[in-house]
Amino acid sequence: MTEDFAKIDGHIGQHLDGWLAELAALCRVPSVSARHEGVGECAHLVAALLASRGFEAEVLPSDGHPIVLAHAVGKNAGRTMLLYNHYDVQPPEPLELWTTPPFQPDVRDGKIFARGAKDDKGELMARLAAVDALLAVDGCLPCNLTWLVEGEEEVGSPNLPAFVERYAERLRCEGAIWEEGGTDAEGRPQITLGARGMLYVELGVRALSRDGHSGNANLIPNAAWRLVWALASLKGPDERVRIPGFYDGVSPASERQRELLEALPSQEAAIKESFGLDQLLLGRTGADVAAAPFDPTCNIAGMSAGYQGEGSKTVIPAVASAKLDFRLLPGQDPFEVAEKLRRHLDSEGFTDVGIKILGGERAGVVDPDDPLVGLVVETAEDVYGKPAQLVPMSGGTTPKYLFTERGVPVVAPGVGFGASNLAHSPDENMRIVDFQNAARHVARLLARFAEA
Amino acid sequence: MTEDFAKIDGHIGQHLDGWLAELAALCRVPSVSARHEGVGECAHLVAALLASRGFEAEVLPSDGHPIVLAHAVGKNAGRTMLLYNHYDVQPPEPLELWTTPPFQPDVRDGKIFARGAKDDKGELMARLAAVDALLAVDGCLPCNLTWLVEGEEEVGSPNLPAFVERYAERLRCEGAIWEEGGTDAEGRPQITLGARGMLYVELGVRALSRDGHSGNANLIPNAAWRLVWALASLKGPDERVRIPGFYDGVSPASERQRELLEALPSQEAAIKESFGLDQLLLGRTGADVAAAPFDPTCNIAGMSAGYQGEGSKTVIPAVASAKLDFRLLPGQDPFEVAEKLRRHLDSEGFTDVGIKILGGERAGVVDPDDPLVGLVVETAEDVYGKPAQLVPMSGGTTPKYLFTERGVPVVAPGVGFGASNLAHSPDENMRIVDFQNAARHVARLLARFAEA
């Protein structure tokens, strides 16, 4: 095996510039799903990249943004690996914090900077690099590949469940490679097994038909105050979500999961440094940091009311709104949580606070003892030269539940160190060495999967 | 007297177009004090308008925006009336709610629409119309006039106190005409006697060195949550401000003030209609509506954090901010209230919430039995043909305390019906009939003041 992969690794090392150019072309398309920008163009570019590798690639409609579905036959045609990626990206704001513009990719300091450079165009491109290397060295793919590239991951994949249902036959597979995961700050591979679910809502209040002069503040209601009080009813500084029944169905980490948590090296120092903190939330430390994702969350992602310009304006805001995401655990259904939220607001007197659901996904969990997980660990250690860690639950959300709930083991080889790539933030980037290692890892994983 | 004023009224009726053209020119200058825009240009335009009427007009520096100070000698040189106006305006946002652009004045339906059309460029121009009419009919002014036109009223007049101190000699007067007041919805003149003070602050939180991915929401603090909890600690839905000591020094309405309140017709229906409400805040009704300004307030004028664009973004905001105005009563000092706010936030655990003071003014109150108040009432009834009402305390704020505290009676002839002119809101306007009546009123008031 070592000899084969030496050739693969050699090919990858020699062709980086071409893949980076293709990645830059992908990142130049501002496929911000929240705003429905550039999604059709980006889907077709992804399909073209797949077709150029010999995939039968189609851009298929959904009730939202188009979804790319592609197939290629490999040497062992009895085994199919599904690869999941997404071509959409998070909004680039705040723009003023980017060193170079988010949709004008820039290579500097051994990194490529752009919105999507890591999440998830960079990851998609690294997998294409693995495919190219396998084709170049072996002349064929080791197994069948089915590639699913959606355009609404960053807005909660609202149309993926129906798509997976509709194309269930074409999506049949013995294993799936998802996004998420990577290395920790010391370069140790982290293999994430669980992804939390999510409910994303926008709360909105209209208190007045128009903004008022604040001299009337004792006489007419203020939408910002209504929103503040409604939000404060959801969670206090103890971080406990106060919606009745919110925690129903949530189980603590199992014995096996606790074992895995205890084996994880602490990420505390890396997170503190990354966000300029003296201590983590609630003073979390030690094993408590790794265990944090076993608590569901209620996060304010944005908030807006009244005058936000320079200086002062004495106005009573007529409207106010907030965006909230709840990260959910197995046992919590996002749409049931939305109903509980509605009942809670009503019972607290906030019938005037509207709820608009922008996304809902269930959590998805993989058995740490599945053979495919073992393959990911082995191949990761081969690439990174360090022992791999199994992360039983990650903080993030990705719709792998659509496959885990069908009994498919879903694994994630991951790309690079999470905190350094600034995914979802200004100056998102991918280290070229991480790109290279991800390609090496996926090539190994596909080859070993085909043998199993 | 009736005959003289018939000539004055005739002159005013015949020259409206000219004044409206001058008013439009004033409104075209976007003198938004919160953003320091167009203030120098507007000050010079005001000085030129005064000079063209024979005033000795100067644009004087302050520590903030320039202040226009002008003098003219009248027939009775033993009596001086001070006129106060401001050339700055509120920010025009939200721009999309204006029917025509805020700084492109438009005359339609008997109204002139523009930011500042009423507050306060329209009022200034109506007074200039009164001056023009008096000069045209009588050949001279009835008394001395000192005109003070500042450029920071909408941001709390931070530099007016020092200016009034410095130019105390030149600002000596036997009476002063201020802004505020007008008619009620039925056209009955309302003479306001008290103006509340104000503290304007911006609260700001930085929780992280950069925005985070919301998958980390159990691990790192969220600036929006910190702000929400800090705000919720200030006031609940009972509208009672929870800052310890906030109400210290506040007296209930006196017996004389209660008499005046009871004599006022209800504005409840007009306010409800103006803001599309079924009921007023806290279910206020009857005499409770007129008495509302005797309670100080805590108002959220604006609030901002995280992602506010279309759709969803799963981000933990690094920073959050809110703008607050507190309307204050006699006995409350704005800077002492700011200190109490700081102590309150600290004691509630919000040492991370910063306070930036953007303005502070004390309340100012005039004796309802002052002879100058009597003159305003008489002349108002002559112009409007309806009995005048004395409003012991208005909801708004204006720095007349700088003169009332020096023993000067400060009165306000007022312009038009407050709720219809949309001051501080999109589509701010002045009815031309209100402009005309304001000019007639001021002309009478100056003439009668000179005789006293």
ipTM of the complex: 0.87
Of B136, B152, B192, give the one whose Cα is nearest residue B411: B192
Every domain range in chain A assigned CATH 3.40.630.10:
2-195+365-451
pLDDT digits (tens, 9 = 90+) for A220-245: 999 999 999 999 999 999 999 999 99
DSSP assignment letter at A219: T
Contacts of A27 (CB under 8 A, 6+ apart): A103, A105, A112, A114, A115, A116, A117, A121
* B132-154 per-position pLDDT tens digit: 999 999 999 999 999 999 999 98
CB distance B300–A315 less than 8 Å?
no
Domain span(s) for CATH 3.30.70.360 in chain B: 197-250+296-361
Nearest to B270 by CA among B196, B182, B191: B182
Q: Within the 360-379 window of chain B, which residues sit less than 8 Å (CB to CB) from chain A?
A: none
Q: What would the pLDDT profile of B186-196 be if each residue is shown by its tens digit?
A: 889 989 999 99
Concatenating the DSSP letter of every residue in A101-161 gives -TTS-EEETTEEESTTTTTTHHHHHHHHHHHHHHHHHHSS-SEEEEEEEES-GGGT-TTHH
**Backbone φ, ψ for residue B58 (5° rounding):** -125, 145
Q: How far is A448 from chain B (nearest CA, A)?
A: 31
Contacts across the A-B interface (CB distance below 8 Å): 325
Q: How far apart are the first and last CA of chain B?
A: 14
Residue B158 in contact with partner chain A when CB distance is under 8 A = no
Does the distance separating the beta carbons of B307 and A325 come in below 8 Å? no
Q: Do A314 and B90 touch (CB under 8 A)?
A: yes
CATH fold, domain B197-250+296-361, is Alpha-Beta Plaits (3.30.70)
What per-residue confidence (pLDDT) applies to A3?
54
**In the 8-state DSSP scheme, what is residue A39?**
H
Residue of chain A with shortest Cα separation from B360: A312
- How much of chain A, in percent, has pLDDT values that exceed 90? 88
pTM of the model: 0.87
Question: Could you tell me if A89 lies within 8 Å of chain B, comparing CB atoms?
Answer: no
pLDDT tens column, A254-263: 999 999 999 9
A149-159: average pLDDT: 92
Residue of B nearest to A197 (CA): B215
Kindly give the pairing relationship between strand B315-316 and strand B353-361.
unpaired
- Helix, coil or strand: residue B386: coil
Positions of CATH 3.40.630.10 in chain B? 2-194+366-451
Q: Which helix (H) or strand (E) holds A71?
A: strand A67-72
Separation between Cα atoms, residue A414 and residue A178, nearest integer Å: 8
Of B200, B218, B222, the CB nearest to A293: B218
Pairwise CB contact (< 8 Å): B293 & A196 = no
How many other C-beta atoms can be found within 10 angstroms of the C-beta atom of residue B246? 22
Q: What's the CA gap between A424 and A116, in Å, rounded?
A: 9
CB B205 within 8 A of CB B425: no
* Superfamily of domain B2-194+366-451 in the CATH hierarchy: Zn peptidases (3.40.630.10)
| CA gap A423, A427 in Å, rounded | 8
B94 contacts chain A (CB < 8 A): yes
- Which whole number is the average pLDDT over A264-274? 90
Q: How far apart are CA B72 and CA B50, in angstroms?
A: 9
Which residues in A lie closer than 8 A to residue B271 (C-beta atoms)?
216, 219-220
Which among B154, B220, B275 has CB closest to A210? B275
Domain with CATH 3.30.70.360 in chain A: 198-250+296-361
What is the reported pLDDT for B419? 67
Torsion of CA A211, A212, A213, A216, to 10 degrees: -150
- Are A34 and B309 an interchain contact pair (Cβ–Cβ within 8 Å)? yes
DSSP annotation of B208 reads S
Chain B, 5 to 64: residues with Cβ < 8 Å from chain A are: 33-35
Is A121's pLDDT higher than 70? yes
DSSP-assigned letters across all residues of A380-415: HHHHHSS--EEESS-SSB-TTHHHHTTT--EE----
CB-nearest to A237 from B156, B229, B395 is B229
User: What residue in B sits closest to A360 (Cα-Cα)?
Assistant: B312
- Look at residue A425 in the predicted model and tell me its pLDDT: 85
Contact status of A94 with chain B (Cβ, < 8 Å): yes
What does the pLDDT look like over B359-397, one tens digit per residue? 999 999 999 999 999 999 999 999 999 999 999 999 999
Cα–Cα separations (whole angstroms), residue A251 to A181, A295, A326, B268, B434: 23, 9, 17, 54, 69
Rounded to whole angstroms, the Cα distance separating A400 from A413 reads: 14
- Residue B148: which residues within 8 A CB-CB, separation 6 or more? B67, B68, B69, B82, B83, B84, B85, B171
Q: Do B300 and A305 touch (CB under 8 A)?
A: yes
For residue A419, what pLDDT is reported?
67
Topology (CATH level 3) of domain A198-250+296-361: Alpha-Beta Plaits (3.30.70)
Q: How far apart are CA B421 and CA B113, in angstroms?
A: 9
Topology at the third CATH level for domain A2-195+365-451: Aminopeptidase (3.40.630)
- Judged against a pLDDT cut of 90, whether residue B348 lies above it is answered with yes
Q: Using an 8 Å Cβ cutoff, are A245 and B178 in contact?
A: no
Contact B210 A422 (CB under 8 A): yes
CA-to-CA distance for A99 and A115, rounded, in angstroms? 12
Local confidence band at B417 (pLDDT 50, 70, 90 cut-offs) = confident
What single-letter amino acid sits at B49?
L
Helix (H, G, I), strand (E, B) or coil at A235: strand
Instruction: Find the residue in B nearest to A200 (Cα).
Output: B312
Quick one: what percent of chain A has pLDDT higher than 70? 99
Write the CB contacts of B2 (distance below 8 Å, at least 6 apart in sequence). none
Q: In sequence order, what are the residues at sequence separation of 6 or more whose Cβ sits closer than 8 angstroms to the Cβ of residue A188?
A: A265, A384, A386, A387, A388, A389
Contact map slice: A 263-302 vs B, CB within 8 A: 271, 274-277, 280-281, 284, 289, 292-293, 295, 297-302
Cβ-based contacts of A320 with chain B (< 8 Å): 303
Contact assignment for B271 to A216 by CB distance below 8 Å: yes
